C-alpha cells in the first residue's frame, strides 16, 4: 500500500525541529580537514571538495559563514565531525536562504513565460539513472535531460564524470547518503523535489545505477504522484549489468546459470533481516548479485553455504566498478570475505556469486574452468 504524505516543509524544514538548537548552538561548518588517502574517489565522498565547489551557489548568502576547506588540490574527501547530525542541520540552515531565493526566481520565470508553461504551472521531475560510474554508459535521453535541468539533486554514487555534463546554468544540490551520515533524510528529499516542481522548475533527481533498483526511486515517484506532480523515469544501467559486462561475466549462461537474483546487503532500520533470502538464494544454478553487501557478506556467505551452496562457488567483489579507480578480487565463496578484508575494499562494492564468475577472463585458471563448465 502506498504511503500518503499530507504535509510538506515548504523549504522551512519544520520537521527538523531546528528551534531546539538555539541560534547560539547553530555553529556553521568553518573548516573541513580532508583525507588525501581517498582523493582518488570518482564519487562525491561526504564533505568533499568537489561537493562544495559544485554547490557553492547555495552558500552565497552566507559569505562569512559558508564552509571553507582546508585541503590541498588533490584532496577529495573530508572526515565527518563526531556530531554528524548537528553538522547536517547547520548545513541545511546555511542553504535555506539561497534555496528560497532560487524558488522565487523559478516562479518568476514561470510567470513570465505566459502560455509556454502547462496550465497548472507545475514543473516536471525526472528520475534519472546514471549507471555505475562510467559516463559513456549514460543513455542519450539521460544526457539530454541532464543538460536542460534547472535543478539537479544528486546522490553520492553519481560519478564526478557524469556531473561534468550538467549544463552551465543549472543548479546542483548534494543529497547523498553514506553509512552514518545522511545529508538529507528521504522525507526532506521528497519535499525539495515537490517544492521546486511546484515552482514550475525542471527538476532532475540523479541516482547511481538505475533509479528503480535499490535506489528508492519508487518511493519518490509515489510521493510526487500523490501530490499531482508528473514523474518521468529514465532508466540507467544498473551496477549488476554494467560491472558484470566490464568483467566479462554473463549473468546468465545456458547450462550454467538459468536465472539471476539481485539482493541488498542491508535493510531499512527496523526492517527484515536482509539475509532472510539466503535459504532460497542458495541455488547453484543461479547467479547472485549483492548490492551494499560489504558488511554483511561474512554472514551471507555462511548462510548460503549452510543452505547448500558449494563453498568453492566462484565469486568476485568489485569496488567502484566501470571507473578508472575500479578494483576487484576473485575468490571461492568461502574465502571471499577474507580476500575483501585483505584488499581493504570500500563502498561502493558489488558482489557477484555463481559459476558464471569463472567465465571471466580475470578468474584464475579461467580457460580451464570455463571449458569444464561449458562441457558439463
Rounded CA separation 192/188 (Å): 6
Residue 155 among the catalytic residues: yes
CB count, 10 Å around CB of 141?
Answer: 13
Contacts 24+ apart (CB under 8 A), 213-221: 213/238, 213/240, 213/262, 213/291, 214/262, 214/264, 214/291, 214/292, 215/129, 216/186, 217/127, 219/3, 219/186, 219/190, 220/125, 220/127, 220/189, 220/190, 220/193, 221/127
**Cα(174)–Cα(95) distance, integer angstroms:** 11
CA neighbor of 303 nearest in space, from 323, 277, 284, 324:
277
Catalytic residue check, 207: no
State yes or no: is 169 an active-site residue.
Answer: no
Q: Is 344 left (phi over 0), alpha (psi -120 to 50) or beta?
A: left
Q: ∠104-107-111 over CA atoms, to 5°?
A: 140
- Residue 281 · residue 257 · CB < 8 Å: no
**Alpha-carbon span 77 to 46, nearest angstrom:** 7
Q: Are 220 and 190 in contact (CB under 8 A)?
A: yes
Annotated catalytic residue: which of 177, 222, 334, 335? 177
CB contact set of 331 (below 8 Å; sequence gap of 6+): 315, 316, 338, 339
DSSP assignment letter at 339:
H
Beta carbons of 48 and 78 less than 8 angstroms apart: yes
From the candidates 292, 303, 328, 355, which is the catalytic residue? 292
Options 55, 91, 134, 155, the catalytic residue: 155
Q: How distant, in Å, are the alpha carbons of 187, 209, 216, 278, 295 from that of 274?
A: 23, 20, 16, 9, 12
Q: In terms of DSSP bridges, do strands 203-207 and 181-182 run parallel, antiparallel, or are they unpaired?
A: unpaired
| Enzyme catalytic residues | 155, 177, 292
Amino acid at each position: 500500500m502506498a504511503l500518503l504524505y499530507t504535509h510538506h516543509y515548504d523549504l522551512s524544514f519544520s520537521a527538523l525541529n531546528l528551534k531546539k538548537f538555539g541560534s547560539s548552538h547553530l555553529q556553521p561548518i568553518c573548516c573541513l580537514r580532508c583525507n588525501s588517502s581517498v582523493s582518488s574517489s570518482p564519487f562525491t565522498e561526504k564533505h568533499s571538495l568537489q561537493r562544495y565547489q559544485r554547490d557553492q551557489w547555495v552558500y552565497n548568502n552566507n559569505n562569512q559563514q559558508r564552509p571553507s576547506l582546508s585541503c590541498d588540490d588533490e584532496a577529495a574527501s573530508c572526515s565527518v565531525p563526531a556530531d554528524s547530525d548537528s553538522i547536517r542541520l547547520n548545513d541545511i540552515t546555511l542553504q535555506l536562504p539561497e534555496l528560497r531565493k532560487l524558488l522565487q526566481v523559478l516562479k518568476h520565470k514561470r510567470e513570465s513565460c505566459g502560455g509556454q508553461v502547462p496550465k497548472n504551472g507545475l514543473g516536471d521531475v525526472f528520475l534519472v539513472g546514471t549507471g555505475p560510474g562510467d559516463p559513456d554508459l549514460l543513455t542519450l535521453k539521460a544526457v539530454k535531460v541532464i543538460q536542460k535541468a534547472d535543478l539537479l539533486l544528486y546522490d553520492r554514487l553519481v560519478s564526478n564524470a557524469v556531473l561534468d555534463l550538467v549544463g552551465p546554468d543549472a543548479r546542483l544540490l548534494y543529497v547523498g547518503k553514506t553509512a552514518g551520515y545522511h545529508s538529507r533524510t528521504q522525507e526532506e528529499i521528497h519535499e525539495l523535489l515537490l517544492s521546486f516542481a511546484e515552482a514550475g522548475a525542471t527538476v532532475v533527481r540523479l541516482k547511481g545505477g538505475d533509479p528503480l533498483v535499490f535506489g528508492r526511486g519508487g518511493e519518490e515517484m509515489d510521493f510526487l504522484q500523490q501530490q499531482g506532480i508528473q514523474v518521468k523515469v529514465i532508466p540507467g544501467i544498473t551496477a549488476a549489468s554494467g560491472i558484470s559486462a566490464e568483467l566479462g561475466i554473463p549473468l546468465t549462461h545456458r547450462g550454467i546459470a538459468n536465472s539471476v537474483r539481485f539482493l541488498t546487503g542491508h535493510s531499512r532500520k527496523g526492517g527484515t533481516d536482509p539475509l532472510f533470502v539466503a535459504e532460497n538464494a542458495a541455488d547453484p544454478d543461479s547467479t547472485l548479485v549483492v548490492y551494499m553487501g560489504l558488511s554483511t557478506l561474512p554472514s551471507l556467505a555462511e548462510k548460503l553455504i549452510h543452505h547448500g551452496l558449494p563453498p568453492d562457488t566462484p565469486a568476485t567483489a568489485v569496488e567502484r566498478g566501470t571507473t578508472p579507480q575500479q578494483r576487484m578480487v576473485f575468490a571461492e565463496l568461502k574465502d571471499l570475505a577474507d580476500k575483501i578484508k585483505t584488499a581493504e575494499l570500500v563502498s561502493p562494492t558489488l558482489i557477484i556469486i555463481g559459476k558464471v564468475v569463472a567465465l571471466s577472463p580475470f578468474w584464475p585458471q579461467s580457460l580451464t574452468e570455463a571449458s569444464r563448465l561449458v562441457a558439463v
